[in-house]
Amino acid sequence: MQKRWRMTRALTLGGQVCVVDDMGRVLLVRHGYRPGWHFPGGGVEFGESVADAALRELREETGIVATAPPALHGIFNHARTFPGDHVVLFVVRAFETTTASASAMEIAEQGFFALDAVPKDTNPGTLRRLGELFGGQPVVADW
């Protein structure tokens, strides 16, 4: 899909969400079409705000619905692996889980993980954001 997007769009924009539960665990998903664990999220559609896109993708992928506005963590250049792409990361701490299930084609697994127990194959950009959010590391511009 990335090759098709690259041919049809000069720049792409995606929204992702770091969901934090009451025990301080973070929600990660493993997609069926790319390796590793990531924050839930996806591309912004025409006419959609990036926050709305991130929350829509969160709901579609995981069945989780934010019950308060998301907090903006930052805007990141994703050029290392996807030239022209930018990722906006939001943080959600207030949410409810609906009965809607994640797309079986898109999401292979999902789960809440303690910060010291995230899967070994968590995406490096996701790990950097976790370090910024919870480990006191400085925010860097690259995903």
- For residue range 37-47, list pLDDT tens digits in order: 999 999 999 99
Tokens in use for 20? 């934090």
Tokens in use for 54? 């991130």
CATH 3.10.580.10 fits 2-134, yes or no: no
Residues of the chain with pLDDT under 70: 1-9, 100-105
* CA angle, 117 then 122 then 127, to 5°: 85
How long, in residues, is the chain?
A: 143
Domain boundaries defined on the chain: 2-134
Question: What pLDDT, on a 0 to 100 scale, did the predictor assign at position 139?
Answer: 97
Q: Starting at the edge strand that comes first in sequence, how are the strands of the sheet with 41-43 ordered?
A: 41-43, 12-19, 85-92, 71-77
